Amino acid sequence: MSTTKKKVLFDRLLPWVIPVLLIALWELSARIGWLSSRVLPEPASIFKSGWELLRSGELHHHVLVSTRRAFTGLAIGGGAGLVLGLITGTFRRAEVLLDTTLQMVRNVPPLALIPLVILWFGIDEAAKIFIVAIGVFFPLYLNTYHGIRSVDPALIEMARSYGVSGWRLYRDVIFPGALSSILVGLRFALGFMWVLLIVSETISATEGIGYMTMNAREFLRTDIVLVGILLYALLGKLADVVARSLERFWLRWNPNYASA
């Protein structure tokens, strides 16, 4: 009993061994003087600046602003991708009509649109949300479309012969069949979401994590820049954890996803 508990604890801790070792090494080399604090301040001072930002409420404010931007963009772009993917996946006619256009647009990197976006929306909130929305649209669109198309036709045939059709066929067979693929799309989208947000926030902003780091750069506050970078890492990890737990819940019927 206790050996299995120990094993569980060991498995829990294992992923954190390398990050902790790296931080320890970093702290040590900064203390000894191998690293100039201009290049890379020691972890302790980063935590201190982080703590100060947190106490002053500044950190709180910037994180909230960035998160709101990210999720507004995700809701708009991801929602549109999901709906369009469902439509083109379901109706052959819609696929013929829309798919070529969407594939052309897909090959334009969202970041290439930045100059255009600035001309359209200025350096307003709308510009950042627009870029995030464009970026998360395609992963969700493509994976939803693919998911719908790869639902086992044998199951659809069975359901039809059992008198299930229309909306119930969609709810009971097609959508659940596509869900694992849709969730893969969501995970990709969450990754893109932060990348695009970072870039658009560093270009022009008056608040948000990107603004905080750019502002700190002006004042040569490397420690605050690093606080910002760590925040992005943390938020990215958090989004991934959320996506994984959604998978674990919605795909709990699948032995590959069932929690151990």
Partner 1 sequence: MQINLEENSAVASRAAVANTIGIALSVRGVHKRYGEREVLKGVDLDIEPGEFVAIVGRSGCGKSTLLRLVAGLESGQEGQLHYDGHEQDSRHETRIMFQDSRLLPWKRIVDNVALGLPPARQIDAEHVLGQVGLRERRHEWPARLSGGQRQRVALARALVHKPRLLLLDEPLGALDALTRIEMHALIESLWREHGFTALLVTHDVSEAIALADRVVLIDEGQITLDLRIDLPRPRHRGHAAFAALEEQVLRRVLQQAPDEKNPGTEHAGDVSLHRTVDQVRWAV
Residues 127-156: x/- map of binding to partner 1 (CB under 8 A)? ---------------------------xx-
Residue among 132 and 182 whose Cβ is closer to partner 1: 182
Residue among 176 and 236 whose Cβ is closer to partner 1: 176
Residue among 176 and 191 whose Cβ is closer to partner 1: 176
- How far apart are alpha carbons 174 and 128 in whole angstroms? 34
Q: Rule CB under 8 A: is residue 191 a binding residue for partner 1?
A: no
How many CB atoms are closer than 10 A to CB 238?
Answer: 12
Residue among 203 and 251 whose Cβ is closer to partner 1: 251
Beta carbon of residue 210, minimum distance to partner 1 (angstroms, whole number)? 40
Question: What residues contact residue 152 under an 8 Å CB cut-off, 6+ apart?
Answer: 177
Footprint on residues 154-183 left by partner 1 (CB under 8 A) = 154-155, 157-159, 161-164, 172-173, 176-177, 179
Footprint on residues 218-257 left by partner 1 (CB under 8 A) = 251-255
Give CA angle at 94 (93, 98), nearest 5°: 125
**What is the sign, positive or negative, of the torsion defined by CA atoms of 205, 209, 212, 217?**
negative
DSSP characters over 114-151: HHHHHHHHTTSHHHHHHHHHHHHHHHHHHHHHHHHHTS
Total residues binding partner 1 (CB under 8 A)? 19
- How far apart are alpha carbons 40 and 233 in whole angstroms? 17
Beta carbon of residue 253, minimum distance to partner 1 (angstroms, whole number)? 4
Beta carbon of residue 144, minimum distance to partner 1 (angstroms, whole number)? 17
Residue among 60 and 168 whose Cβ is closer to partner 1: 168
Give CA angle at 83 (80, 88), nearest 5°: 115
Beta carbon of residue 214, minimum distance to partner 1 (angstroms, whole number)? 46
Beta carbon of residue 180, minimum distance to partner 1 (angstroms, whole number)? 9
Axis crossing angle, helix 92-106 with helix 79-90, rounded to the nearest 10:
140
Residue among 60 and 160 whose Cβ is closer to partner 1: 160
Residue among 53 and 173 whose Cβ is closer to partner 1: 173
DSSP characters over 174-241: IHHHHHHHHHHHHHHHHHHHHHHHHHHHHHS-SSSHHHHHHHHHHTT-HHHHHHHHHHHHHHHHHHHH
Beta carbon of residue 185, minimum distance to partner 1 (angstroms, whole number)? 18
Residues engaged in binding partner 1 (CB under 8 A)? 154-155, 157-159, 161-164, 172-173, 176-177, 179, 251-255
